Amino acid sequence: GGAERVRTVTTLGTPHRGAPQAVLAVALTGLLPRGTSAWDLLPNSRLLNALNRERFPASVPMLSIYSRADLVC
């Protein structure tokens, strides 16, 4: 809910589908405890899958700014 209160959604360099680098971050830090944000950024994480299952309201314009050369997204 809340679409009626939002004029536009703008994201900047947001890894909507996860960041492959999160695998490296989890591995290099000794497998962080499950609840940390690195786990949430893993491609196909429970959080990202849940967010991507939800339909984005057609009434809210979305602008996603990204770079093809960005190593995060």
Digitized pLDDT (tens) for each residue of the chain, 73 residues in all: 788 999 999 999 888 888 888 888 778 776 656 666 778 888 999 999 998 898 889 999 999 998 887 765 5
pLDDT at 48: 92
Asked if 60 and 9 touch (Cβ cutoff 8 Å), the reply is: yes
pLDDT at 50: 93
pLDDT at 72: 58
Give the largest CA-CA distance in the chain: 43
pLDDT at 34: 62
